[in-house]
Each structure stands twice: as structure tokens, then as C-alpha cells.
Amino acid sequence: MSLISALSWPLLYLVSEWAIRLLMLVIIPFRRSPEAAKGWLLFFFFLPWPALFLYVLIGRPNYPRWRRDRFARMPQVLKPARNKIRDVTAQQLPDLPGNLVQAATLIEKLGQFPSLGGNRAELLPDYAGTIDRIVADIDRARSHVHLLFYIFADDRSGRAVIEALVRAVDRGVACRVLIDALGSRAWAPRVIAALEASGVAVHLVLPVNLLRRRSARADLRNHRKIAVIDGEIGYAGSQNIVNADFNPRVTNQELVVRVTGPIVLELQAVFVADWFLETEEVLDAMALFPEPRSTGTIVAQVLPSGPDYPEAGVERLVEALVHGARRRVVITTPYFIPNEALLHALETAVLRGVDVHLVLSRPVDQILVSLAQKSYYAELLEAGVRIHLYRDKLLHAKHLTIDNRVSLIGSSNIDMRSFTLNSEVSLVLFDREFNAHLREEQERYFAASDTVDPETWRRRSLASKTVENIARMLSPLL
């Protein structure tokens, strides 16, 4: 009898593994990209039970029901803000050629914000200088300060911002701060204690605690970086509130844009929405959305994206812009794991005669992502895409330019995490002069980069190619 039992347990385990595999052949392909489906099915084929455990935890990019219910109330919560934005005389369609004219319409359909004119934008490539500018603007705040950052540390950079917020509260300025629970986990207790002790309203975004009924999933994060001061000044881009060398292995190079004008109202609306999702507090729209004044000539638009916006993936916009390009595409990102649609769009753009550049970072902070990223180089190089590897720092900046007419800068990487799992925000600017400034920054990247030679890349070792392609198969899960 014991022998039969000994034989039956291995058989039962084997049957259970095949039952899981066959079941997932039916479940996995539903509402999932072919790339993601292949990654999950491969995982299930080799390790059915571990894959099932991971799938239960993170298999679907959906927030808990309580958060989805709260998001369903968002149209009513944001109605006063949207009405204010739509009533401003700054609504203006960008002056674009026919091949790009639908970009603004696409952004509005995805994110529900119209394009607004009368804005001014300034690029901030200096890391410490960006922190100094944010601090200076907080010190001039009269009404309110809103900060939303994936990482908020209590190091030198973070303390400078904390001290500015304390001074603002002492002047009677309302200060509200949102920080991602996972991104800021190393510093959050100290940052929150310092801010709360000074009267700053601060909340952790998407806290993870398996013992709590409303715990968030660890892989669904708020990756946005937004600062809004008095509803008149806004910041967006790639930089967090943390020292550039917070990771001992690398030093970050970032790019942020400081904006004034009506477009700040759209950044404000993104913050107000996230504040409601975390606190269920409806902020006073009349106090936070002042009548905008024109400060420049730039037409701009904000696109929020993430699991809360199932139709608002930033990848749709990037793909559409690349398909619309006629002369030049430059994409800068630290993490490049494209879906098939974007990969084909880039290759097709080259075939149409478009000059396509991809600016990536030679120093890396995520080894597996870097390996998966390298697996795409051969195909891109063969198609004619030029790949530049920034030498000295981790180029963490995230932006692109299309035909010297459209610029996109924000928090989103070109990978499945930013496309599907993270809450991101992108600022799109339709302006030749701003595009020229961003192009100057890109040229500096080119000068500080090594261009990947197609022939040299082809000659790399078989072992390297094998490891990279194994990582690529797992890329939909990264």
C-alpha cells in the first residue's frame, strides 16, 4: 500500500502540472498581447506551479475592486476641473502637417485632456539645478504646493525639498505630497514623519501589506513625477526627489521640463485624481484651478496612462507618432523592451526613409532588463535604426521627438512595465522652437555616446546571444 502511495504522489503531481498547462492555454491568451501571452505560457510550460503562484499575484494588471470602484467615480470628481479646463480660451489645436495632425486628437481620446495654447516650457538638464528650481518655486508659493513622486528620499536633495515645504506651511501654504510606497520604501517612514510633523499632508501611494484587506499589488506602481505650485507652475519628466548617485552602482542623468500657462491645469488634474484615489478626499477645484494666463506660445497636452486607464496606454501614442513620422525620430529611454507593434513601426519608418535614432544607456542598474533589451539590437540595426549608448551615467531621461514638430517628455519608459503596469504621465508639446531645444539636448547625448556598430554587434559570442534571448522571452514579465 505504501508503494502504491509513493507512486501515486509523483503521478498526481505530474497530472496537476499538465492540468495547469492545459488550463492556462485557454486562460492566458484572453485580453493579453501575443508577446505577454508567449512569456507567460513559456513560464507555465517549464514551471507550472511557481508560474501559477506568480500569476495569481500579478497575472492581470488590474487594481483591487475597491480602487476600480473609486476610479469609476472619477468623472464626477473631476467634472469641475475638466469643465474649467474645457472652458478656458486657451484650447487650441496644434499647427501640424497632415501626417501628424491626428496626434492631438488621439491624446485627447486617450487621456480626456484637450490641447492648450499659451504655454511656456523650459528644459532642465542639470540634476542639482532642477532640485534648486523646485525649491525656489516652493519658496515663492502663495496658495498650494502639490508633489507626486515615485521616489522621495530623505537625503540631501529630499531634505532641501522638505525644508522648503516646511517654510511654505509656516507661511500658510497648503502642501500635499504623494509618494509611491514601493519606490520610496527605503526612505518613506522618515520622510512622512518629517512632513507630518510640519503640517504637510502626505500619503503613501499603493501601500503593499499582505495582511491588509486593501493592500496593493507590488508590481502596480505610481511612477509619475509631478510638481504643481499655485496651479501656475508645473514640472514633469524623469527625475525623482533623490540624489543623482543614490544607487551606488550608477549616477543618474535626467531631463525635466518646467512649464507655465494653461497646461499646468492638466498636470493639476492628474494630481487631484491621484489624491482622490488614495485618500477619497475631493479637493476644491475652485481654489486649485485658477483662471490661466498666457505665458508663451507653445501648444501642449497631458496624457495620463496606467492600469486605471485601460485605453490610455502611452504606447499607442508612441506607435502612432512613429507611424506618422516623415523625417526624423529620436527616442531616449533607459529601458527599451518594445512590443511587436512598436518594433515594426520603427523598422517601417526606416524603410520610408525616416532617420531613426535610439538613445540608451551603457551603464545599467537592472541586469535582466538590460539583457532583454540587447536582444532587440540586432533586428533594429539590420533595419537601419541607429543605436547610441550613453557612456558615463545612467541616462534615465525619457523623451522623444518627431520631425522637429512634436516632443514628448515624461515618466514613461519604452517597456511593458510603463505601457501596462505603471501609472505614468506624459507631456506632449507641439512647438518647433521647443523641439529644437530638445534636439540640442539629444545632440549632446549623441556626442557623449558610442554608436553600436552592426558588424561588431553581429560578432558577439554565442553565449551572449543565448542569454539575451532567454531574457527576451521573459521580457513580458519584467
Quick: pLDDT tens for 98-127: 888 888 888 888 888 999 999 999 999 999
205 compared with 79, residue with greater pLDDT? 205
The band of 147, judged by pLDDT with boundaries at 50, 70 and 90, is very high
H-type alpha helices, 28-123: 34-46, 48-58, 65-72, 74-77, 79-87, 102-111
Element housing 315 (H / E): helix 314-324
In this predicted structure, the answer to whether residue 89 has a pLDDT above a threshold of 80 is no
Distance CA 217, CA 62 (A): 9
The band of 219, judged by pLDDT with boundaries at 50, 70 and 90, is confident
Class in CATH terms, 65-98+114-298: alpha beta
pLDDT tens for residues 410-452?
999 999 888 888 999 999 999 999 999 999 999 999 999 999 9
In this predicted structure, the answer to whether residue 58 has a pLDDT above a threshold of 70 is no
Topology of the domain comprising 314-477: Endonuclease; Chain A (3.30.870)
Contact partners, residue 8, CB within 8 Å, separation at least 6: none
93 compared with 410, residue with greater pLDDT? 410
In this predicted structure, the answer to whether residue 298 has a pLDDT above a threshold of 80 is yes
In this predicted structure, the answer to whether residue 162 has a pLDDT above a threshold of 80 is yes
The band of 200, judged by pLDDT with boundaries at 50, 70 and 90, is very high
Distance CA 379, CA 230 (A): 48
In this predicted structure, the answer to whether residue 60 has a pLDDT above a threshold of 70 is no
DSSP assigned state of 173: -
The sign of the torsion formed by the CA atoms of 207, 212, 215, 219 equals: positive
At 286, the amino acid letter reads M
- Which of 54-63, 76-85, 283-292, 365-374 tops mean pLDDT? 365-374
Distance CA 308, CA 354 (A): 34
Given this model, what pLDDT does residue 235 score? 98
Given this model, what pLDDT does residue 146 score? 98
Percent of the chain with pLDDT over 90: 63
Three-state SS string over 328-380 comes to: EEEEECCCECCCHHHHHHHHHHHHCCCEEEEEEECCCCCHHHHHHHHCCHHHH
At 185, the amino acid letter reads R
Contact assessment for residue 199 and residue 225, using Cβ atoms and an 8 Å cutoff: no
Answer whether 0.75 is exceeded by the pTM: yes
In this predicted structure, the answer to whether residue 73 has a pLDDT above a threshold of 70 is yes
In this predicted structure, the answer to whether residue 10 has a pLDDT above a threshold of 60 is yes
Given this model, what pLDDT does residue 48 score? 83
**Residue 243: burial class (beta carbons within 10 Å; 0-12, 13-18, 19+):** middle
H-type alpha helices, 140-234: 156-170, 188-197
* Across 83-111, average pLDDT: 82
Contact assessment for residue 107 and residue 301, using Cβ atoms and an 8 Å cutoff: yes
In this predicted structure, the answer to whether residue 343 has a pLDDT above a threshold of 60 is yes
Q: What is the mean pLDDT of the chain?
A: 89
The band of 457, judged by pLDDT with boundaries at 50, 70 and 90, is very high
Q: Which of 253, 239, 223 is nearest to 419 (CA)?
A: 223
Given this model, what pLDDT does residue 33 score? 64
* Across 278-283, average pLDDT: 91
Distance CA 238, CA 255 (A): 6
The band of 4, judged by pLDDT with boundaries at 50, 70 and 90, is low
Given this model, what pLDDT does residue 473 score? 76
In this predicted structure, the answer to whether residue 244 has a pLDDT above a threshold of 90 is yes
